[in-house]
A and B are shown apart, each in its own frame.
Chain A
Amino acid sequence: MGGKRDRIPTSMNDRAPSSRSEATLLIDGTPPSWRAYWRELRAFHEVTRMLIRRDLIVRFRQTYFGLAWLLFKPLMLMAVMSFAFGYLAGFESNNAIPYPLISFCGVIPWYFFSNAVPDGMNSLVGHLHIIQKTYFPRAIIPIAAVAVDAAEFLVAWLLFALGCLWFGYLPSWQIVFFPLFCLQLLLLCTAIGLLLSVLNVRFRDIGNLVPFLLTIGFFLTPAGYTLARIPAQWQAVYALNPLVGIIEGLRWSLLRGMDGFPLLPVIFSLATTLSMALGAAQHFLAAEADLVDRA
Chain B
Amino acid sequence: MSKIVIEIEGLGKRYSLSHRQRPDSLKTWLRSLARRTAAGDSRHSSDEDFWALKDLSLQVRQGECLALVGKNGSGKSTLLKILSRITPPSQGRALISGRVASLLEVGTGFHPDLTGRENIFLNGAMLGCPEREIRRRLDAIVDFSGVDRFLDTPVKHYSSGMYVRLAYSVAAHVDADILIIDEVLAVGDAEFQKKCLSHLTNALASGKSAIVVSHNIPVIKSVSSHVAWLREGRLSEIGAVESDVLQRYTA
Q: Which residues of A contact B (CB under 8 A)?
A: 1-9, 12, 19-29, 43-44, 46-47, 49-51, 54, 57-58, 61-62, 129-136, 202-205, 289-290, 292-294
Contact A290 B88 (CB under 8 A): yes
Q: List 23 A-B contacts (CB under 8 A).
A: A1-B64, A2-B226, A2-B240, A3-B238, A8-B57, A9-B57, A21-B97, A22-B177, A24-B95, A24-B96, A25-B95, A26-B93, A27-B83, A27-B85, A29-B89, A43-B128, A47-B126, A49-B125, A50-B121, A130-B108, A132-B86, A133-B104, A290-B88
Contacts of A57 in B (CB 8 A): 113-114, 118
Contacts of A2 in B (CB 8 A): 226, 238-240
Contact B88 A5 (CB under 8 A): no
User: Nearest A residue to B15 by beta-carbon distance?
Assistant: A293
Contact B87 A58 (CB under 8 A): no
Interface positions, chain B 53-84, Cβ under 8 Å from A, are 55, 57-61, 64, 66, 81-84
> Contact size class for B?
35 or more
Is B235 positioned at the interface, with any CB of A under 8 Å from its CB? yes
Contact A1 B58 (CB under 8 A): yes
In the A-B complex, the 10 residue pairs with the closest CB atoms = A29-B88, A28-B93, A135-B85, A133-B108, A46-B125, A27-B94, A25-B96, A50-B122, A133-B105, A289-B88
User: Nearest A residue to B3 by beta-carbon distance?
Assistant: A19
Contact B237 A205 (CB under 8 A): no
CA of A43 to CA of B126, assembled, Å: 11
Is B22 positioned at the interface, with any CB of A under 8 Å from its CB? yes
Contact B97 A24 (CB under 8 A): yes
Contact B111 A4 (CB under 8 A): no
User: Nearest B residue to A295 by beta-carbon distance?
Assistant: B22
Instruction: Choose, from B24-32, B41-49, B200-208, the stretch at the interface.
Output: B24-32
User: A27-B85, A46-B131, A133-B105 are known contacts. Are A203 and B29 too (CB-CB below 8 A)?
Assistant: yes
Contacts of A6 in B (CB 8 A): 55, 57, 235
User: Nearest B residue to A204 by beta-carbon distance?
Assistant: B24
Contact A205 B59 (CB under 8 A): no
Contact B122 A293 (CB under 8 A): no
Contact A204 B25 (CB under 8 A): yes
Which among A21, A23, A27, A57 has the highest number of chain B CB atoms within 10 Å?
A: A27
CA of A205 to CA of B28, assembled, Å: 11
Interface positions, chain B 193-244, Cβ under 8 Å from A, are 226, 235-240
Contact A5 B237 (CB under 8 A): yes
User: Nearest B residue to A137 by beta-carbon distance?
Assistant: B85
Q: Which residues of B contact A (CB under 8 A)?
A: 3-4, 7-9, 15, 19, 22-26, 29, 55, 57-61, 64, 66, 81-100, 102, 104-105, 108-109, 111, 113-114, 118, 121-122, 125-128, 130-131, 177, 226, 235-240
User: Nearest A residue to B100 by beta-carbon distance?
Assistant: A25
Contact A61 B113 (CB under 8 A): yes
Interface majority SS (helix, strand, loop, mixed), chain A: loop
Contacts of A7 in B (CB 8 A): 57-58, 238
Contacts of B226 in A (CB 8 A): 1-2
CA of A49 to CA of B122, assembled, Å: 9
Contacts of B82 in A (CB 8 A): 27
Contacts of A3 in B (CB 8 A): 238-239
CA of A135 to CA of B118, assembled, Å: 20
Contacts of A61 in B (CB 8 A): 113
Contacts of B22 in A (CB 8 A): 202, 294
CA of A133 to CA of B109, assembled, Å: 9
Contacts of B66 in A (CB 8 A): 1
User: A22-B97, A134-B84, A135-B84 are known contacts. Are A5 and B130 too (CB-CB below 8 A)?
Assistant: no
CA of A62 to CA of B240, assembled, Å: 54
CA of A28 to CA of B96, assembled, Å: 11
Contact B86 A131 (CB under 8 A): yes
Q: Nearest Cβ in chain B — how far from A31, in angstroms?
A: 9
Q: Nearest Cβ in chain A — how far from B227, in angstroms?
A: 10
Q: Nearest Cβ in chain A — how far from B58, in angstroms?
A: 6
Contacts A46-B125, A202-B24 supplied; 16 other A-B pairs, CB < 8 Å: A1-B58, A1-B61, A4-B238, A8-B57, A25-B95, A25-B96, A25-B100, A26-B94, A27-B88, A29-B93, A54-B118, A54-B122, A130-B126, A202-B23, A203-B29, A293-B87
Contacts of A202 in B (CB 8 A): 22-24, 29
